């Protein structure tokens, strides 16, 4: 019989993606508190260099059979969490099994705190309700302390839900438990005057008789408040995805917070997800209405999707932002749901038919995670930009607590020491970026303002970046010392607010960025939480050589248009840094991210990427970059979007100003075809990194193009053009407004033509510049000048096209030949290398839909109609829902060139209403009216009446 640990998902292991009977990856269990990963201990307030690992110490001191406190005989470990361990023990005095929750040393060795926690915990002895896990005693000696509690032979509702075939309950299945839960909460609120404050499915047990047991009652609050006195004063207690807006704001707790959490818990049990579970949860809890449970079930393909109106209305009322509009007691919730007394009787076990529910007991380990108060979810400085913006935008009020850290000037004798000055600037920026009460501009947006570029432009910089202050600095490094001068300047009046001179040894300088962050926050009157202040006090490393190696790694990673050699070099430098200092948590996180980026498909590299991220978090649990690295691992190496989004939500708590976290969240949402969420993520990223050209182009512009939001696309492209001009950036190919005007106007490319002609007439310009020739090719194709197009693309190096994610020159040349109706033999000769590679790819991976689709397009171009149709249809058949439209677009092109005109038109009518797939700028990423009107690849359809009707327009509305 399988045994589970109470409150510890997967027996204390990290939530892993489950698979259903078809082998497809499923959603991880909805336990959103942290649990220990293998070899990883998450300990709030225990950072790099902090004394001891509390979990290891507990394992080392105790063993099965040992007798403690004169009465408890230890039997076995039931579970473990970031701040303690739970043992099953025999209370020999009362002759019963109990669960012992051992407390970490940071509490045991602080007598005042231990006394307070003991007093608070003993208040829980008042809770004697049959549906509440009993707290028996608080026992301690000089070396250890623990809470003795009822041993429950059962499993959590979170785990039971995860084992359901649909990963969700039906209302009639949880009605009895809901009645018991409401009764237990009403008893606690009205008789014992105790609020739970961490209510969630993971804290609701079902024993083998089928009775509900609420665990962590009173203890979550007591422990959370006690620990906050040492490390996290004024932080919030609870688990973030189930917390009310008032609890998120740190307001004094009331029973109405539990009512909200009750609603969030029921929502989770009935839909498989909490109301808000990814992205900026704090903002969503404050501003968004959760979708109805029926909508959520429909989105997740849970049948039947419809939830009875009485449950919809009651849960929605519990989730009201305004506490006065919620049911005013849990008894009222039960009355609204019409739960009868009969439903409070012992219930049958819920499990798979013919299978006895395998359950095990344990203590309330989940209470130690308490992710809500630990992570302190970040609050957005600017409420998320709406996807559709008004034509006129009111003037933006610049926050007094906003800052841009400009590039530090390198004054070292050796000019190649510029990497060190940039690294110091980057570290100061990163330290400031951890402070929620500040708005801090990202690195990419400030790098243009170096040296003389800043002179007399501070007011302009402030307006451009929407900040009230900038930090300027210089760095002079010698063999043994570092001299740093910094000045904080108000951009509105050019007044110097504060300045400082630091002359230190290299070792002492390693803590400087944290000191600067605290000083600057004080000058800007920003409030630092205890966690932020603690983070600022931590040196990244004690080893100067490791720090220099780390800065070299960042230098290579951050290079403009970095290529594989730079990324390989960055990985080597990060490896060198962790070799020199195995406790360098930030270097471990950076190494993990680089490995998962460089070698995501290499099994050994995948293991290394995870191991390095876990090491970073074990050394420094509050390291946002560690959670970001773990998110990249799950996304890149495991294709596990849900787990990646979870890690990103944790990363955002410690990196509230990070555009990288918001961009990664947006890209995952975009991959899931959650377009509105993705655009909100990208717009939020642009608040913190407004001049980041890659963000504006690859994320915002291409996403607006994919959903055919042409006005927003043109606005974004104008922002990009202004940013590139400020940065004096090199030409990036056809990434300007003229191309987007072609799409926005439904096919007018006159501005694009004029742009190319102006560049051709510029005597100072290189007539063979690759970007110009690529634009020539695109415009020549629209002009039906196919010979000119073929000539232009022949002069573009393959590596240039590859960098811009365009198809190879051979493919683009072949398109011109197809448009000219060249003989299939000549087209085949041009496509020979690409056709051969497509066939090799097919042989290696015949289950990849795009291998079939791409091969089908090539075969259609060279006249192999039957084979082309076979491959195109197979590609569409293999494509999963997220890429089905992409495969269908290629199939439509295959149909067009194999005589299946009606089939092509039928597909195009549907695709014109569907968002595209963001990918290469020159590949078929979406179908637009401009494409159909002007692209010669659709010429075979031009005599079809239905196609002519499409071309007459207007363009259909994109549904997303």
The string of DSSP codes covering 552-567 is HHHHHHTSTT--HHHH
Q: Is 596 exposed, middle or buried (0-12, 13-18, 19+ CB in 10 A)?
A: buried
**Catalytic residue list contains 198:** yes
Q: Give dist(CA 524, CA 140) in Å, integer.
A: 45
CA dihedral (757, 759, 761, 767) positive or negative: negative
Closest CA to 731 of 705, 706, 762, 687: 762
Q: Are the C-beta atoms of 114 and 165 separated by less than 8 Å?
A: no
Closest CA to 150 of 245, 46, 78: 78
Q: Are the C-beta atoms of 226 and 144 separated by less than 8 Å?
A: no
For residue 694, give every residue at least 6 positions away whose Cβ sits within 8 Å of its Cβ, in sequence order, or none.
444
Residues 903-934: b if buried by 16+ CB within 10 A, e if exposed:
bbbebbbebbebbbbbeebbebbbbbbbbbbb
Q: Give dist(CA 854, CA 851) in Å, integer.
A: 5
Closest CA to 778 of 799, 803, 801, 752: 752
The count of other CB atoms within 10 Å of the CB of residue 322 is 9
Angle between the 770-782 and 786-793 helix axes, to the nearest 10 degrees? 160
DSSP strands (E only) in 449-494: 469-477, 481-490
Residues 399-421: b if buried by 16+ CB within 10 A, e if exposed:
bebbbbbbbbbbebeeeebbbbb
The string of DSSP codes covering 329-363 is SHHHHHHHTT--GGGGS------STT-----B---
- Region for 461 from its dihedrals, namely left if φ exceeds 0, alpha if ψ lies in -120 to 50, beta otherwise: alpha
Catalytic residue among 91, 186, 198, 257: 198
Q: Angle 520-521-524 (CA atoms, 0-180°, nearest 5)?
A: 85
Q: Give dist(CA 62, CA 67) in Å, integer.
A: 9
> How do 212-214 and 402-405 pair as beta strands?
unpaired
Closest CA to 236 of 375, 106, 45: 375
Query: Quick one: tokens of 460?
Result: 């302009």
Q: Is 824 exposed, middle or buried (0-12, 13-18, 19+ CB in 10 A)?
A: middle
For tokens 């100067």, what's the residue?
Answer: 544
Beta-bridge partners for 402: 439
Q: Is 393 exposed, middle or buried (0-12, 13-18, 19+ CB in 10 A)?
A: exposed
Cis peptide before 954 (omega within 30 of 0): yes
- The Cα-based distances of 459 to 399, 462, 697 in angstroms read 14, 5, 26
For residue 926, give every residue at least 6 positions away whose Cβ sits within 8 Å of its Cβ, in sequence order, or none.
705, 706, 708, 889, 911, 915, 916, 917
Closest CA to 344 of 184, 215, 150, 205: 184
Give the catalytic positions in this structure. Answer: 198
């Amino acid at each position: 019989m399988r045994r589970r640990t109470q409150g510890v998902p997967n027996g204390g292991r990290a939530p892993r993606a489950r698979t259903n009977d078809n082998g497809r990856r499923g959603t991880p269990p909805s336990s959103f508190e942290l649990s220990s990963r293998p070899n990883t201990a998450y300990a709030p307030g225990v950072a790099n260099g902090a004394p001891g690992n509390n979990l290891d110490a507990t394992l080392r001191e105790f063993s099965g059979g040992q007798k403690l406190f004169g009465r408890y005989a230890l039997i076995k470990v039931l579970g473990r969490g970031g701040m303690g361990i739970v043992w099953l023990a025999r209370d020999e005095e009362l002759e019963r099994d109990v669960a012992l929750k051992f407390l970490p040393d940071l509490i045991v060795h602080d007598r005042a705190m231990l006394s307070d926690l003991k007093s608070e915990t003993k208040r829980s002895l008042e809770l004697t309700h049959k549906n509440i896990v009993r707290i028996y005693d608080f026992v301690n000696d000089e070396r250890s302390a623990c809470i003795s509690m009822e041993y429950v032979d059962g499993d959590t509702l979170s785990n039971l839900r995860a084992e359901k075939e649909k990963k969700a309950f039906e209302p009639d299945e949880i009605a009895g438990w809901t009645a018991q839960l409401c009764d237990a909460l009403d008893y606690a609120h009205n008789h014992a005057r105790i609020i739970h404050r961490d209510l969630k499915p993971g804290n609701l047990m079902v024993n083998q008789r089928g009775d509900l047991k609420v665990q962590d009652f009173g203890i979550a609050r007591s422990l959370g408040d006690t620990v906050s006195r040492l490390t996290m004063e004024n932080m919030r207690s609870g688990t973030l995805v189930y917390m009310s807006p008032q609890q998120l704001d740190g307001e004094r707790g009331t029973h109405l917070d539990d009512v909200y959490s009750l609603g969030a818990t029921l929502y989770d049990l009935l839909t498989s997800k909490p109301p808000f579970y990814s992205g900026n949860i704090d903002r969503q809890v404050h501003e968004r209405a959760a979708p109805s449970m029926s909508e959520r079930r429909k989105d997740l393909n849970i049948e039947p999707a419809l939830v009875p109106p009485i449950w919809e209305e009651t849960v929605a009322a519990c989730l009201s932002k305004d506490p006065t509009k919620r049911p005013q007691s849990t008894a009222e919730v039960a009355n609204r749901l019409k739960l009868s007394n009969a439903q409070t009787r012992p219930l049958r076990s819920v499990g798979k038919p013919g299978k006895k529910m395998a359950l095990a007991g344990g203590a309330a380990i989940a209470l130690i995670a308490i992710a809500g108060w630990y992570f302190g979810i970040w609050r957005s400085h600017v409420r998320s930009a709406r996807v559709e913006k008004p034509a006129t935008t009111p003037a933006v009020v610049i926050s007094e607590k906003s800052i841009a850290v400009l590039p530090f000037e390198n004054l070292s004798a050796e000019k190649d020491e510029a990497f060190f000055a940039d690294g110091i600037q980057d570290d100061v920026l990163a330290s400031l970026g951890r402070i929620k009460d500040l708005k801090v501009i990202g690195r990419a947006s400030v790098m243009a303002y170096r040296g003389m570029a800043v002179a007399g432009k501070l007011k302009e910089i402030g307006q451009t970046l929407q900040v009230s202050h900038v930090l300027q600095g210089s760095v002079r490094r010698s063999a043994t010392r570092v001299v740093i001068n910094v000045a904080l300047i108000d951009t509105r009046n050019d007044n110097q607010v504060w300045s400082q001179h630091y002359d230190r040894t290299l070792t002492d300088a390693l803590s400087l960025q944290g000191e600067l962050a605290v000083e600057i926050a004080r000058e800007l009157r920003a409030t630092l939480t205890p966690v932020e202040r603690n983070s600022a006090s931590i040196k990244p490393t004690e080893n100067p050589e490791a720090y220099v190696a780390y800065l070299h790694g960042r230098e290579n990673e951050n290079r403009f248009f970095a290529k594989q050699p730079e990324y390989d070099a960055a990985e080597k430098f990060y490896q060198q840094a962790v070799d020199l200092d195995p406790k360098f948590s930030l270097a471990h996180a950076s190494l993990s991210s680089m490995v998962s980026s460089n070698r995501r498909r290499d099994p050994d590299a995948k293991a290394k990427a995870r191991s390095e991220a876990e090491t970073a978090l074990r050394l420094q649990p509050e390291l946002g970059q560690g959670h970001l690295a773990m998110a990249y691992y799950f996304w890149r190496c495991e294709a596990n979007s849900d787990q990646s989004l979870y890690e990103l939500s944790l990363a955002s708590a410690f990196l509230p100003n990070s555009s990288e976290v918001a961009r990664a969240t947006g890209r995952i949402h975009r991959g899931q075809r959650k377009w509105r969420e993705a655009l909100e993520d990208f717009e939020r990223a642009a608040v913190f990194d407004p001049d980041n050209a890659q963000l504006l182009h690859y994320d915002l512009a291409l996403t607006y193009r994919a959903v055919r939001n042409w006005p927003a696309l043109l606005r974004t492209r104008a922002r990009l053009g202004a940013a590139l001009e400020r940065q004096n950036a090199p030409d990036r190919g056809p990434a300007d407004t003229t191309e987007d005007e072609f799409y926005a106007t439904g096919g007018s490319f006159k501005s694009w033509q004029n742009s190319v002609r102006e560049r051709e007439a510029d005597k100072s310009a290189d007539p063979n510049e690759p970007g110009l020739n690529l634009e020539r090719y695109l415009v020549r194709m629209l002009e039906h000048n196919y010979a000119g197009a073929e000539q232009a693309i022949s002069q573009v190096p393959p590596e240039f096209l590859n960098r811009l994610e365009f198809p190879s020159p051979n493919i683009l040349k072949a398109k011109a030949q197809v448009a000219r109706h060249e003989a299939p033999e000549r087209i085949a000769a041009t496509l020979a290398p690409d056709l051969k590679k497509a066939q090799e790819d097919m042989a290696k991976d015949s289950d990849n839909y795009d291998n079939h689709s791409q091969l089908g397009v090539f075969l259609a171009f060279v006249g192999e109609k039957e084979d082309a149709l076979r491959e195109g249809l197979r590609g569409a058949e293999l494509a999963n829902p997220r890429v089905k439209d992409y495969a269908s677009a290629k199939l439509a092109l295959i149909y067009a060139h194999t005589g299946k005109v009606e089939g092509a038109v039928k597909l195009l009518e549907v695709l014109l209403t569907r968002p595209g797939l963001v990918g290469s700028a020159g590949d078929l990423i979406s179908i637009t009216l401009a494409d159909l009107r002007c692209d010669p690849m659709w010429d075979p359809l031009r005599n079809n009446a239905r196609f002519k009707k499409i071309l007459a327009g207007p363009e259909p509305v994109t549904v997303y």
